[in-house]
Structure 1
Amino acid sequence: MSEPRSPQPRVVILKTGTTYPTIREQAGDFEDWFVRGLSSALSLTVVNVEQGENPGQPSDWDGIVVTGSPAMVSERAAWSEATAAWLALAVDESVPVFGVCYGHQLLAHALGGQVGYHPDGRETGTRTVTLRPDAKADPLFRELPASFPAQLTHKQSVLRLPEGAVLLGHSDFEPHQAFRFGDCAWGVQFHPEFSDAVMTAYLRVQAPELTDENLDPEALLAAVEPAPAASSLLQRFSELVLNRRG
């Protein structure tokens, strides 16, 4: 006999890496920030796919969240490719998916898009995301302002969206900040789980590299601000999952 279904919708957080040690000591790790941002009405489970943990079948879950990672999708590590195939199956089975940064890129790769290094290098700090016209009808994005601040830190990007994907948002630097595939799979390049304090901590750790890359860490630090509209996407995704279960 199968186990009874949880009274709360079950959402798996696929952990695809870990943050810098100094940040982890002070503020927790990726999964902690997602748990903070998602609804407490969900039953959340963290599965560390980067360390080989098995998330079971996509149909075991009412929703799937994919974290960021210091890994690179283009390296095609075995665990990453296995997770990509699993995500493609989840999309086929219409399980809601929300991929962030690495998760956004991995979802695009899983569905036939192209991922690689951004030709102009790194994007980091608080930047402005501008929504495309299609976002006005999107279940997650339709109530967001036409442009809003978001926290970002990435070197790789979705260079080509999967065929049939709907582009929802861009920034001056990054043409593919958000997309939807089908009715219930989204990827966002920015970090809705980051607080401004976490973004500040990232920039401080990255400062020597940023200087080497001819970026100005002090100017980037001064420009950090809260990003409540971007962060609201975690609650909006939660509500979508809750409504589908309801």
Structure 2
Amino acid sequence: MKIGLLQCDDVAQPLIGRHGNYPDMIQALLRAVDPELQFQVFACHQGRMPDRATDVDGWITTGSKCGANDDADWIGRLSDFIRALWQTRQPLVGICFGHQLIAKALGGRVARSPLGWGLGAYPTTLDQQEPWMTPWRSQTLQLLASHQDQVVELPPQGRVLARSGFCPIYMMQIGNTCLGIQGHPEFSRAYLEDLLSTRRDRIAPERLLAARHSLRGPTDDLLVGRWILNFIRQGQRRPTAAP
């Protein structure tokens, strides 16, 4: 299976040598599940958009320091591409910013959380079990997170799959071919710890302390990596037609 990675940001230069770039993180996560995967990276944040005829089996949109409500030209072009994927029923998974951009591009709404930064590993509750959620462990899911914006209104055909008191639309599915996840299954604890250090001038000390403390607990990154691949494979079996 070949996956197109829609890259929306770069890891900060002081951290990239130790942790790699965002596409590297996603490839490492998913290859831990399936070593035979192939990837093609498109640096959308630098204006390099894919051709709609690109021969891949599914798409993943990365996180970004930008917001889905920003008016950058590349964000508008990527939104157009997301709508094209939706119309042709091609599988698409969005992570953090990608999750938010899918929601907005397809008619939902994104806004800044009134509770401030969502940081560290916080538990969410799964509302339902979908066929691609195998293996199934429990109704609680925990991933690393770093965000201020979040989806506050679903697009048409959207439904909530996971929620928390902090983020009511933590995971969503739109139709059968779009999946959005607010958390970061691709992040390592070491990377998030270093990322928090670079943002200590923008985040309240008590919030940073709580986030660092939360990093001691387990996360479900490999489980969600498997779910992502299951979702894309399920989407491949759907007919290619406008919804």
Corresponding residue to 1:26 among 15, 18, 26 = 18
Work out whether 1:217 is the aligned partner of 2:202. Answer: no
Q: What secondary structure is seen at the aligned counterpart in 2 of 1:208?
A: coil
Structure 1, unmatched stretches of 5+, are: 1-8
Corresponding residue to 2:104 among 103, 106, 109 = 109
| Aligned equivalent of 2:149 | 156
CA contact (8 A) 1:148 1:227 kept: no
Shift of 1:231: 3.6
Distance 2:194 2:173 in 1: 30
Distance 2:219 2:115 in 1: 27
CA contact (8 A) 2:90 2:235 kept: no
CA contact (8 A) 1:17 1:50 kept: yes
Change (3 A) 1:76 1:143: farther
Corresponding residue to 2:224 among 233, 240, 243 = 233
Change (3 A) 1:120 1:54: same
Amino acid at match of 2:157: G
- Structure 1 stretches of at least 4 aligned residues deviating more than 4 Å after TM superposition: 242-246
1:96-245 mapped onto 2 (5 Å cutoff): 96-132=91-127, 135-140=128-133, 143-211=136-204, 215-225=206-216, 227-242=218-233
Work out whether 1:15 is the aligned partner of 2:1. Answer: no
Report the number of matched residues.
Answer: 234
| Aligned equivalent of 2:65 | 70
Shift of 1:148: 2.5
Amino acid at match of 2:201: P
CA contact (8 A) 2:80 2:105 kept: yes
CA RMSD for the aligned pairs? 2.1
Distance 1:117 1:163 in 2: 21
CA contact (8 A) 1:37 1:235 kept: no
Change (3 A) 1:203 1:231: farther
